């Protein structure tokens, strides 16, 4: 079968520049790549054909000879794809360097040491502890640096250059005409190997241990806040830097107070006589008790603000407020005498011309208006 014209194979004009030539080849190579078309023999043939065409046309001397003599310039005895003397890795290093890393796999960069993993620890606090701050000791199961080999993984502390990859951490794998650069299986990309592994950590440079740390929790933290302890995570492999430890705060619910940001909320039950004629209440705060004046004719649900009695923000240092919601409590387990007194009390203000229940009156008026509209 006669070979197709190389320009026709790549779908370009004969005066194409190198940039457009490379784009055309990249497009075809990605489309017909053997790894994408494992069971398609035609695609593999197209891939080889495009590679052959690009290898000739990208070289100024080969392209000039091809333009003059056609495929005869690339036949047996000629320096060209038919008697291909180029490095397939160079072609794919040029085109797929971004994918496989490095310039065509020639001496790719050694893999960097991988730092240890970060750890997370959930710490539960009472509201009082979160507001005032606390120092607490915690025990963390982790991977710590081996003390025997000082984290190097070697019994004598010495590492030698990997003979498999020549110390570069990567090797070239040839699959037919396709060359791929991979991490060295012998040294795992480090470029160095241990001849005499440490008997304690078996060459890992780290061992399992339980670490005790003293953690200082600042005043004002809330659920979801995180405290970072740099370098207190897992130790890295073979002496690599350690990860970090993140302490996540969780504040338990409180019997009296509910927190919203820097403000605290609480419900305060009061007797209906105190709500009617006024009085003083003792309100608990995180810093002790304070007195709250309740004015006469206070209705249930009324909110009182005690400024500066909330939580001091860990970020802005603003002092929050304590919001007290009064709930009028209905008396229970009344004696017969007490019930009679309440009935007399109710009768006394029902006979009065003064409106003692403005909300009830307005609500009843609304009910009447509603039924009037429904029946009209």
Average model confidence (pLDDT) for the chain? 81
Burial class (CB in 10 A: 0-12, 13-18, 19+), 359: exposed
Phi/psi class of residue 294: alpha, beta or left (left: φ > 0; alpha: ψ in -120 to 50)?
A: beta
Whether pLDDT at 86 is above 80: no
Nearest 5°: the CA angle 281, 286, 290 is: 25
SS3 166: coil
Whether pLDDT at 99 is above 70: no
Residue 287 contacts residue 264 (beta carbons within 8 Å):
no
Q: What pLDDT was estimated at residue 97? A: 40
Whether pLDDT at 313 is above 50: yes
List, for residues 199-209, the tens digit of each pLDDT value: 888 888 888 99
List, for residues 327-340, the tens digit of each pLDDT value: 999 888 999 999 99
Q: For 344, which DSSP code?
A: H
CATH class of the domain at 119-153+204-251: mainly beta
How many other β-carbons are positioned within 10 Å of the β-carbon of residue 218? 13
Angle in degrees, 0-180, between the axes of helices 41-57 and 60-69, rounded to the nearest 10: 100
CATH 3.40.50.720 fits 6-86, yes or no: no
The residues of the chain that CATH labels 2.60.260.20 are 119-153+204-251, 258-329
The residues of the chain that CATH labels 1.10.287.110 are 6-86
Determine the Cα–Cα distance for residues 215 and 217; give it in Å rounded to an integer: 6
Q: Which two tokens stand for residue 120?
A: 């997370």
Q: What pLDDT was estimated at residue 360? A: 64
List, for residues 179-191, the tens digit of each pLDDT value: 778 888 888 777 8
Residue 290 contacts residue 309 (beta carbons within 8 Å):
yes
Q: What pLDDT was estimated at residue 106? A: 40
Q: What pLDDT was estimated at residue 102? A: 42
Q: What pLDDT was estimated at residue 362? A: 67
| Runs of H (alpha helix) within 12-161 | 18-32, 41-57, 60-69, 88-95, 97-100, 127-132
Residue 88 pLDDT grade (very low, low, confident, very high; cuts 50, 70, 90): very low
Determine the Cα–Cα distance for residues 327 and 299; give it in Å rounded to an integer: 8
Q: Find all residues with CB under 8 Å of 214, minimum gap 6, and list them.
A: 135, 136, 137
Whole-structure pTM value: 0.57
Instruction: Name the strand (E) or helix (H) holding 347.
Output: helix 336-350
- Strands 119-125 and 245-251 come out as parallel
**Which architecture does CATH list for 258-329?**
Sandwich (2.60)
Determine the Cα–Cα distance for residues 117 and 68; give it in Å rounded to an integer: 62
Strand partners, 143: 208
Q: What pLDDT was estimated at residue 177? A: 64
Q: Find all residues with CB under 8 Å of 88, minimum gap 6, and list them.
A: 51, 177, 178, 179
Q: Find all residues with CB under 8 Å of 263, minimum gap 6, and list them.
A: 310, 311, 320, 321, 322, 323
State what percent of residues in the chain have pLDDT above 90: 30
Q: Find all residues with CB under 8 Å of 234, minimum gap 6, and list them.
A: 116, 117, 118, 119, 142, 143, 144, 206, 242, 243
Q: Find all residues with CB under 8 Å of 375, minimum gap 6, and list them.
A: none
Whether pLDDT at 112 is above 70: no
Lowest-pLDDT choice from 20-29, 106-115, 184-193, 238-247: 106-115
């Amino acid at each position: 079968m006669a070979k197709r014209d190389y320009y026709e194979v790549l779908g370009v004009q004969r005066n194409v520049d190198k940039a457009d030539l490379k784009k055309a080849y990249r497009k075809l190579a990605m489309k017909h790549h053997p790894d994408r078309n494992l069971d398609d023999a035609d695609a593999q043939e197209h891939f080889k054909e495009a590679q052959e065409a690009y290898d000739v046309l990208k070289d100024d001397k080969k392209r000039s000879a091809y333009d003059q003599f056609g495929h005869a310039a690339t036949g047996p005895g000629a320096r060209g794809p038919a008697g291909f003397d180029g490095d397939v890795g160079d072609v794919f290093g040029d085109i797929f360097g971004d994918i496989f890393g490095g310039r065509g796999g020639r001496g790719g960069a050694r893999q960097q040491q991988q730092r240890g993993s970060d750890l997370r620890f959930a710490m539960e606090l009472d509201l009082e502890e979160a507001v005032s701050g606390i120092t607490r000791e915690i025990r963390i199961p982790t991977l710590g640096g081996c003390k025997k080999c000082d984290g190097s993984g070697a019994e004598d502390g010495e590492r030698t250059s990997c003979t498999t990859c020549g110390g570069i951490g990567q090797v070239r794998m040839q699959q037919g005409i396709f060359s791929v650069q991979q991490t060295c299986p012998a040294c795992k990309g480090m470029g160095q190997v241990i001849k005499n592994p440490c008997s304690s950590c078996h060459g890992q440079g780290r061992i399992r241990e339980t670490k005790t740390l003293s953690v200082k929790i600042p005043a004002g933290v809330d659920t979801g806040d995180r405290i970072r302890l740099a370098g207190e995570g897992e130790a890295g492999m073979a002496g690599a830097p350690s990860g970090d430890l993140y302490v996540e705060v969780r504040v338990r619910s409180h019997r009296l107070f509910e927190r919203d940001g820097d403000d605290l909320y609480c419900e305060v039950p009061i007797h209906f006589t105190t709500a009617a004629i006024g009085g003083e209440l003792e309100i608990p705060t995180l810093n002790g008790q304070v007195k709250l004046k309740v004015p006469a004719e206070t209705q249930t649900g009324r909110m009182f603000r005690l400024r500066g009695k909330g939580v001091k923000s860990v970020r802005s240092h603003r002092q929050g407020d304590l919001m007290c919601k009064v709930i009028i409590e209905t008396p229970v387990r009344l004696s017969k005498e007490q019930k009679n007194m309440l009935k007399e009390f109710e009768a006394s203000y029902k006979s009065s011309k003064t409106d003692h229940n403005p909300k009830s009156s307005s609500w009843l008026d609304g009910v009447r208006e509603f039924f009037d509209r429904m029946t009209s």
